[in-house]
A = this chain, B = another copy of it.
Amino acid sequence: MERTLIKDLGQKVGEKAFIQGSVSVRRDQGKMVFFDFRDRSGSVQGVVLPKSEAIETAKEVRSEYVVSAEGTVNKRPDKNVNLDVQNGDIELEVHSINILSKAEIPFELGSDVNLDTYLDHLPFTLRSEKSKNIFKIQATIAEAFREAMRGRDFIEFQTPSIVGGDAEGGAAAFKVDYYYDQKAFLATSPQLYKQMMAGVFERVFTVCKIFRGEKHATTRHLSEAVCMDFEMTFIKDHTDVMNMLEHVMKHIVAKVIEKHGDTLQNMGVEMLLVPEKFPVLKLREAQEILGVSQSEPDLEPEHERALWEWAKKEHNSDFVFVTHFPLSKRPFYTYEDEEDRGYTKYFDLLFRGLEINSGGQRVHDYRELVERIKGKGLDPEKFSFYLEAFKVGMPPHGGSSTGLERMTARLLDLHNVKEATLFPRDLNRIDSLLSTDEK
């Protein structure tokens, strides 16, 4: 018999159906046994009547057993109808049940455990409704990012993870034992590659891993993270990039609401505030609002949170751009504002009080770029591969980078970015698994 997905059982009232899935709950009432079955599409109540041939197996089944079951879809008596839940007006009268996999669980699924216990048992804890929702929404965010980019003529490219040469000192880069004692590192960002690729395709994006060996344990840092980057040429200045990013963010939020609106509500997520235009502040303006010194080169986490309060109050916005960070603290490729010397056409995008994106215009002139590299005390010779892209002609360009886990965490109001990461790696944690070779 063909499998029926649980969400479609309502269309088979009075008919036989065959389902496959897990047992969320079993209630043994002596003569009868009740189940909550679930599969990827939803949940339904099952009942095994006293005289059913399935009764013996039913009594053996426990929570999280994987089973298949055959039965008749019945309307529930009126007094038992619960229209607040999926399939609350039907139940499956089970005629036969087949155990596909037994289960021994460390605690009830969805238990309120601490983060360490949650992470120790990920192959189990990820199966809870909350976790599944988080990562379904994360998949939608990445999909919507790609969709928005393609809609604007951007081409996706695969950026390398293994990079050679320690061109910048690489304090935060993990070292890889490459062949024959060659030095290699894990990429801390696709930055230089996306610039080279912008020279190829004009408009490019990549969704890729970045790796950072920074030795601090916070609620917002990961050693391995996913970033959603784009780079575009023929820009007027950084505001073209900000406009593109604004479009992308709006598209992502709209898609998440469209596909997961009910879930957001069930999770108690506050309504997202997305104004027509995101507010923009120069760093010095932000510092004035915050009442902190304008000699600080960056914002502290508590400042980012305070700017969210300001943006909500003044602009009804969960997003706020901060621009014009001081040149001295920015990487060599950052473009200086000719009309505001010492400051850059660089921006951060804060979302609900956390920096989830940064970007800006880049230096595109070969000679200037060489000077800027030297100015940072670096050796242009070590950047010769990258610099070739500029030597052979490079249009004015800029781009930005969004952290997927950070965006997911803030969108769903998760306290720790690790809750928005399937298998988080940090200072203290890496699961002990070496993937095996299928090929």
Binding site for B on A (CB under 8 A): 3, 20, 22, 39-41, 64-66, 68, 100-106, 121-124, 126-127, 131-132, 135-136, 138-139, 142-143, 146, 150, 153, 155-168, 170, 172-179, 182, 184-193, 196-197, 199-203, 209-213, 215, 223-224, 226, 234, 331-333, 355, 358-359, 364-366, 382-386, 388-396, 401, 403-404, 421-423, 425, 427, 430-439
Contact = CB atoms under 8 A, between A and B. Distances in A.
A211 B162 contact: yes
A364 B389 CA distance: 50
Contact of A435 (B100, B184, B188, B200): B188
Given A103-B392, A434-B173, A234 B439 contact: no
A106 to B, nearest CB: 8
Given A200-B132, A435-B188, A20 B176 contact: no
B358 A189 contact: no
Given A65-B393, A123-B389, A199-B127, A434 B167 contact: yes
A438 B358 contact: yes
Contacts of A192: 433, 435-436
A346 to B, nearest CB: 9
Q: How many copies does the complex hold?
A: 2
A64 B394 CA distance: 9
Given A211-B162, A430-B162, A155 B167 contact: no
B100 A395 contact: yes
Nearest to A432: B165
Nearest to A153: B40
Contact of A102 (B157, B175, B388, B393): B393
26 contacts: A40-B153, A66-B395, A101-B365, A101-B393, A121-B388, A123-B392, A124-B389, A124-B392, A132-B201, A135-B155, A138-B158, A143-B156, A158-B421, A160-B224, A161-B209, A162-B211, A162-B425, A179-B215, A185-B434, A187-B435, A188-B437, A189-B436, A331-B436, A333-B436, A358-B438, A385-B433
B434 A188 contact: yes
Q: Which of the listed residues A126, A393, A421 has the most CB atoms from chain B within 10 Å of its own CB?
A: A393
Contacts of A366: 101-102
A259 B64 CA distance: 45
A174 B421 CA distance: 23
Contacts of A358: 438-439
Contacts of A126: 196-197, 200
Contact of A158 (B203, B226, B355): B226
Nearest to A226: B158
A104 B431 contact: no
A110 to B, nearest CB: 13
B436 A191 contact: yes
Given A155-B135, A161-B209, A162-B211, A234 B434 contact: no
Contacts of A430: 162-164, 178, 182, 184
Given A40-B202, A203-B40, A226-B158, A164 B431 contact: yes
Contacts of A209: 161, 209
A382 B435 CA distance: 12
A39 B200 CA distance: 10
Contact of A393 (B22, B179, B382): B22
B168 A434 contact: yes
Nearest to A172: B437
Contacts of A439: 189, 355, 358, 401, 403
A190 B435 contact: yes
Nearest to A421: B158
Contact of A432 (B104, B161, B382, B421): B382
